[in-house]
Homo-oligomer: A and B are copies of this chain.
């Protein structure tokens, strides 16, 4: 496995082989978990070359967010991605990605303003911008993302389609701990009692999913129930619990079509997200 830090070396490599070999790309912020590894393994099956990027992207963090303390462990990431089958780790510095005088930003209107965009203004502008840059550098045929970041996936799909970027976006199921907690690098922030409390997120989503599957269609009732379930957990503070149209991410008042049910919950100082998709006839 090769480690490439230099942007232009990575791009030269990609430009040289992009049309002879399929490049599969897994962009990450590092501190890998099984969810990331499942993306790498899928990329390994579907492509000739697998590139993983590790880049904690400063412009997608707000000024009061956790950019500084975001967990980093390159040696561990290196071992894990090698064993999962990556060929290259692209590991640029933020000074090379955003040199002095950097000025260009992407935005995906409307989609960026809902859900996490409301609590994290500017976040998805940062995400869209870095993904566009990484796609240009790595020149992938396929790129892999996890469903846990549902809004991110929808925004990246829209951006890719809108800008005619010739990359297939593949979204893989959320990977969970055995007790149901969605895997996230941020889970490492959780103290032991917070780790237990964090279960409230997946448990509440699952309860709501079961309610819908057994025929409940009243969004108000479902919302009240979700709020109650989360309030029961004293360490949890709800950011949002949302029923949205999966295409527009707009709040829905009637359960129909493709629906994204998603939640963001603070457990102490850690903000966790999770979701499920459901098609309703």
**In the complex, chain B residues whose CB is within 8 Å of the CB of A101:** 247
Q: A18-B19, A19-B19 are in contact. Are A103 and B162 (CB under 8 A)?
A: yes
Do A136 and B166 touch (CB < 8 A)? yes
Q: How many copies, total?
A: 2
Which of the residues B15, B106, B129, B162 comes within 8 Å of A102, measured between beta carbons?
A: B162
What's the nearest-Cβ distance from chain B to residue A95, in Å? 14
**In the complex, chain B residues whose CB is within 8 Å of the CB of A132:** 163
- Tell me if A153 counts as interface (CB < 8 A to partner B): no
- A window 75-131: CB within 8 A of B: 101-111, 128-129
- Tell me if A214 counts as interface (CB < 8 A to partner B): no
Do B104 and A163 touch (CB < 8 A)? yes
**In the complex, chain B residues whose CB is within 8 Å of the CB of A107:** 104-105, 107
CA distance A51 to B106 in the complex (A): 26
Do B108 and A162 touch (CB < 8 A)? no
Q: How many residues of A contact B (CB 8 A)?
A: 32
**In the complex, chain B residues whose CB is within 8 Å of the CB of A163:** 104, 129, 132-133, 136
Do A136 and B158 touch (CB < 8 A)? no
What's the nearest-Cβ distance from chain B to residue A19, in Å? 4
Do A11 and B106 touch (CB < 8 A)? no
CA distance A107 to B122 in the complex (A): 14
**Nearest neighbor of A15 in chain B, beta-carbon distance:** B166
**In the complex, chain B residues whose CB is within 8 Å of the CB of A20:** 19
Do B106 and A164 touch (CB < 8 A)? no
- Tell me if A165 counts as interface (CB < 8 A to partner B): yes
Give me 11 other A-B pairs in contact (C-beta within 8 A), A133-B164, A136-B163, A139-B166 excluded.
Answer: A11-B164, A15-B19, A15-B166, A18-B19, A103-B108, A104-B128, A104-B163, A105-B109, A132-B163, A136-B165, A136-B166
